[in-house]
Chain A
Amino acid sequence: MPTLLSAWFNSHQPNLHPPSFYSLSLFRSSHPPPSPNPTLAMALSRFASSSRSGSLLKPLSSAISLRRPISTDTTPITLETSVPFTAHQCEAPSRTVQTSANELLTFFRDMALMRRMEIAADSLYKAKLIRGFCHLYDGQEAVAVGMEAALTKKDCIITAYRDHCTFMARGGTLLEVFAELMGRQAGCSRGKGGSMHFYKKDSNFYGGHGIVGAQVPLGCGLAFAQKYSKDEAVTFALYGDGAANQGQLFEALNISALWDLPAILVCENNHYGMGTAEWRAAKSPAYYKRGDYSPGLKVDGMDVLAVKQACTFAKEHALKNGPIILEMDTYRYHGHSMSDPGSTYRTRDEITGVRQERDPIERIRKLILSHDLATEKELKDIEKEVRKEVDDAIAQAKENPVPESSELFTNVYAKGLGVESFGADRKEVRATLP
């Protein structure tokens, strides 16, 4: 059995992992709860990956201390969620959750990565490297991370335009994100989609949707197809408090309830639909109750463990009983998009208040420290690593080329039938669609 020292040595081989593939999936434990005995190989790879970026020059002693088996400890830890769940037409799950050091550290790292990524996107937008729309998710990371922990890749997720972190949670890479935002070839949609149109079909992530509310019927359609195909999997269709009043949502919910579709409608209630507070847009802002005949659960969306618990509960429910609504009480620090300062319709005190009291990353940091699962320094090191990963990915994305001109005409159809398409001046620019 290799010693810790040889593991450290092994990790310093060059090119262990190509730097462009920093992704959350490397740090993903198995779903839902981590297996009690991860293989040694997985353990070693985690040692290797956690040491990849920063520790080459560290003295041996601190390198060994990084190798304390904290990140692989899957001994169950029992905790309580911040608040109990509030239920509508169903019995709420227990607020007692099982987790582990491994899981908590994974959550911390994943959320820190997302946070860093979104803040970096803010700078890139201000530097005019990102154009058009850019809707940032910082503050809401617990929803993406907690949900992913409760699901498998057989389950489908569809969301709206605030999709960068959901894409990452489904296994996307930082390079794919930044390259897409900057309209480059290495982007997840090869630069043709942009911020609102990230997809990852091989992880059953269906976007990335620009029309408010449309993703909910689409998500119910995914659930329909899963039931039709007898896949024993579910679809999570995410929408905001702004979309919660859309008629098509209720149309889709009606059909889903009639046909018993395994659809979970998740309202990410960040309390503002663009500039309109929920109490100005909804006669009843109790979104978890708006399903009427469909059960619902209100969840503290800033508590990643509560999110995971609720999603596990919802998945089980939907597979047996049809649609259920989850309302995630969450908050976005940024405005609606980069064009919105986010301070004309809410006070700065409110924003800083949430940051101080309810920040999802801080909550996990406190949990980790109070349970002595890692030191403050170790957590700071993780944040530094994550920052470097993001910076490296941005540097790589900046070097990446823009799409070839011929890409203007690709993917119009799956089967183009040799048909002609035209540029702005059709006597100058024509193409045959493959």
Chain B
Amino acid sequence: MLAIARQRILGQSFQKIRPAVSVLRSYSSAAKQITVREALNSALDEEMSADPKVFLMGEEVGEYQGAYKITKGLLEKYGPERVLDTPITEAGFTGIGVGAAYYGLKPVVEFMTFNFSMQAIDHIINSAAKSNYMSAGQISVPIVFRGPNGAAAGVGAQHSQCYASWYASCPGLKVLSPYNSEDARGLLKAAIRDPDPVVFLENELLYGESFPVSDEVLDSSFCIPIGKAKIEREGKDVTITAFSKMVGYALKAAEILEKDGIYAEVINLRSIRPLDRSTINASVRKTNRLVTVEEGFPQHGVGAEICASVVEESFAYLDAPVERIAGADVPMPYAANLERMAVPQIEDIVRAARRACYRSVPLAAAA
């Protein structure tokens, strides 16, 4: 059953054409373009080359070249002792990965999607996240759990959940979510070098997208600090926070809002845990309005935490209630029209920003 679903995912992973490439090329001068996939692959390659303790483990990471081709070529380069194909047994192989990390190796465990990480979540939380604390520092766990997270396209309810808020609520874990190629490279390298367990949430639909990268980004020592958000676009009227795919949507929303004279500041969180509260609050103190955007379920989500943080730290600076855009509060439907309603769209972000700026009145008033 899982195999059929995974086949469906695979079928779509190659259909992502890159219309952005030709557009972006006209903007970037000498900057190279790489896809997120290439960024992740090169990060893994470089970290495996630099540190013999780093090894990869997961379903189809080796001979199949990776379910989404993220680990392409690595088996050939590093051999079957360092790139290990596992059976479809998440609980077992995740536990084995964590045990290897206890001993001092640096595993990178791939979940074909994070939906399957639920089968291994005890090892992520109880075996990995808490061990350094319970052992008073004797047992650190330098492991990375990576894979696609959140909604793909048409894969239905069991294959579409976003796990950012679940993992980010747990002390002892670090949770990262890259948006573009620079994020993908820098954050994955930082994650692999970090001595703590890191949950690395990628996005299947972003794998094929190209982004410009500078020479600095392409250097093998390039790393992005964990715990720091990036201001992707500066603005003065409203702060929009987002991570992963929603950063792209937020940027497009900002372009639309600009035409109305609303200058949105877009923050790419990059790090869900630790959350960069100071960057977010500094931005809200400047703009006085906040829209949080995420793909995942709204209740107890990332936006809820950001809202609470801003209310606690910057209440006096808020000129409007915090607006929250999230996935619909339903399991993900299959039909394309329903699916579209279940995931945030650019117009949702635009509308919320307008509300925050008192430019529109909400359609559905609270009962």
- A residues contacting B by CB (< 8 A) are 156, 158, 189-193, 197, 199-201, 206-211, 214, 216-226, 228-229, 247-248, 250-252, 254-255, 258-259, 410-415, 417-421, 426-427
Contacts and interface: CB of A to CB of B under 8 A. Distances in A.
Interface in B216-246: 225-227
Given A201-B139, A217-B94, A228-B81, A415 B274 contact: no
Nearest to A211: B126
Given A207-B139, A217-B92, A251-B89, 18 more contacts: A189-B134, A192-B134, A209-B127, A211-B127, A217-B94, A217-B95, A218-B123, A219-B99, A221-B100, A222-B103, A223-B99, A251-B93, A255-B87, A255-B89, A410-B137, A413-B174, A415-B196, A420-B274
B22 interface: no
B292 interface: no
A406 B227 CA distance: 22
Given A201-B138, A413-B172, A414-B137, A221 B91 contact: no
Nearest to B105: A225
Contacts of A413: 132, 172, 174, 195-196
A419 B315 CA distance: 22
Given A192-B133, A220-B95, A206 B127 contact: no
A412 B55 contact: no
Given A254-B87, A411-B132, A426-B312, A417 B103 contact: no
Contacts of A222: 99-100, 102-103
Contacts of B127: 209, 211, 214, 218
Contacts of A221: 95-103
A420 B276 CA distance: 10
A258 B91 CA distance: 16
28 contacts: A156-B103, A189-B134, A189-B136, A192-B136, A201-B138, A206-B139, A207-B139, A211-B126, A214-B126, A217-B98, A221-B102, A222-B103, A224-B99, A225-B100, A226-B103, A228-B100, A251-B89, A255-B86, A255-B87, A255-B89, A255-B92, A255-B96, A259-B84, A411-B137, A412-B133, A413-B196, A414-B132, A414-B137
Contacts of B225: 417
B329 interface: no
Interface of B: 55, 81, 84, 86-87, 89, 91-105, 122-123, 126-127, 131-140, 142, 171-172, 174, 194-196, 225-227, 274, 277, 312
Contact of B91 (A206, A248, A420): A248
A427 B277 CA distance: 15
Closest 9 CB pairs of A and B: A221-B99, A217-B95, A251-B92, A225-B103, A251-B89, A218-B99, A190-B136, A414-B140, A221-B96
B32 to A, nearest CB: 30
Contact of B96 (A197, A220, A250): A220
A221 B103 CA distance: 8
A225 B86 contact: no
B174 A252 contact: no
Contact of B87 (A207, A216, A251): A251
B75 to A, nearest CB: 15
A208 B139 CA distance: 12
Nearest to B171: A412
A6 to B, nearest CB: 42
A223 B94 CA distance: 14
A427 B96 CA distance: 40
Contacts of B95: 214, 216-218, 220-221, 248, 251-252
Residue among B55, B96, B97, B227 with most chain A CB within 10 A? B96
Given A225-B100, A412-B171, A217 B134 contact: no
Contacts of A201: 135, 138-139
Contact of B123 (A193, A217, A255, A412): A217
Contacts of A225: 99-100, 102-105
Contacts of B89: 248, 251, 254-255
A156 B104 CA distance: 13
A192 B138 CA distance: 12
B268 to A, nearest CB: 18
Contacts of B227: 417-419
Given A251-B87, A251-B92, A255-B92, A193 B136 contact: yes
B96 A189 contact: no
A225 B277 CA distance: 38
B227 to A, nearest CB: 5
Contacts of A420: 274, 277
Contacts of B99: 158, 206, 217-225
Given A216-B95, A414-B195, A197 B132 contact: no
B92 A248 contact: yes
Nearest to A231: B103
B133 A411 contact: yes
A417 B226 contact: yes
B232 to A, nearest CB: 22
B276 to A, nearest CB: 9
Contact of B138 (A189, A211, A214): A189
Contact of A419 (B55, B102, B135, B274): B274
Contacts of B138: 189, 199-201
B150 to A, nearest CB: 24
Contacts of B132: 411-414
A217 B172 contact: no
Contacts of A255: 86-87, 89, 92-93, 96
Nearest to A415: B195
A229 B53 CA distance: 9
A222 B97 CA distance: 9
A217 B135 contact: no
A79 to B, nearest CB: 36
Nearest to A210: B126
Nearest to B88: A251
Contacts of B86: 255
B244 to A, nearest CB: 21
A218 B102 contact: yes
Nearest to B94: A217
Contacts of A410: 136-137
Contacts of A224: 96, 99-100, 105
B54 to A, nearest CB: 11
Contact of B196 (A217, A414, A426): A414
A161 to B, nearest CB: 12
Nearest to A218: B99
Nearest to B55: A228
A312 B191 CA distance: 40
